Amino acid sequence: MEQIKIIFFLVGSFFGIENSTIAADKTTVIIYPENQKIEIIQEKLFTIIQSKKDTATTLAQWNKIANLRENETPWAKELEHFTNKNLSIKNTGTTIETHISLNYNDPNDLRAMGIWYNTDMHHFSINEVPRNHITSETGILEDNYWIFNDNNTFSFTTEAFLDLPNEYKKLKLPITAMLKK
């Protein structure tokens, strides 16, 4: 089994930040096979703050991400085969979301993100992980896999923190609130 290093709902994983502290309540992934493009929309960014050290760590990670170009923050090594990498950040005042877009040259490049391509069956697939609350209007759930046709745009959404334990829900802080302090 391959270890997946790029975790869709952890913003820092796209930039090689280990132990990323910034997560998204909801993440939508859209893949355009005809253009060999992938978009990741991470909504309602938050962190879990248990100590002042957590605040400092999260602020440092956010600075690396938000000021990507100025800080010359590198993209994760696992994304080296992707081109046209782009990050945009949208602050609505109450929430922050990120939009990441990348192009790939080969469908097998998507393996870095846990998306597998089956050449013989002409489909893409991802693992169904119940705790990630994956949904899709364009995929079919078969056993432990979501299956997507390779000749149409497809998407899926994950809400991995719906079942966050109560003790962590109390410590959950929207990134917008942390940045206001």
CA neighbor of 156 nearest in space, from 176, 175, 135, 132: 135
**Is the Cα torsion angle 169, 129, 80, 96 positive or negative in sign?**
negative
Judge whether residue 143 has pLDDT over 90: yes
Under the banding of pLDDT at 50, 70 and 90, the label for residue 4 is low
The predicted pLDDT at position 93 comes to 84
Spans of all domains in the chain: 11-180
Judge whether residue 2 has pLDDT over 90: no
Average pLDDT, rounded, for the chain: 94
Under the banding of pLDDT at 50, 70 and 90, the label for residue 6 is confident
CA neighbor of 122 nearest in space, from 44, 33, 3, 55: 33
Structural contact between residues 101 and 42, judged by C-beta atoms closer than 8 angstroms: no
Portion of the chain with pLDDT greater than 70, in percent: 98
Judge whether residue 1 has pLDDT over 90: no
Read off the pLDDT of each residue in 103-113 and give the average, rounded to a whole number.
Answer: 96
Q: pLDDT tens-digit profile of 41-92?
A: 999 999 999 999 999 999 999 999 999 989 899 999 999 999 999 999 999 8
Judge whether residue 158 has pLDDT over 50: yes
pTM of the model: 0.94
Tokens 């990050």 belong to: 87
Q: pLDDT tens-digit profile of 113-142?
A: 999 999 999 999 999 999 999 999 999 999
Read off the pLDDT of each residue in 22-26 and give the average, rounded to a whole number.
Answer: 97
**Residue 37: Cβ-neighbour burial (10 angstroms; 0-12, 13-18, 19+):** middle
Under the banding of pLDDT at 50, 70 and 90, the label for residue 5 is confident
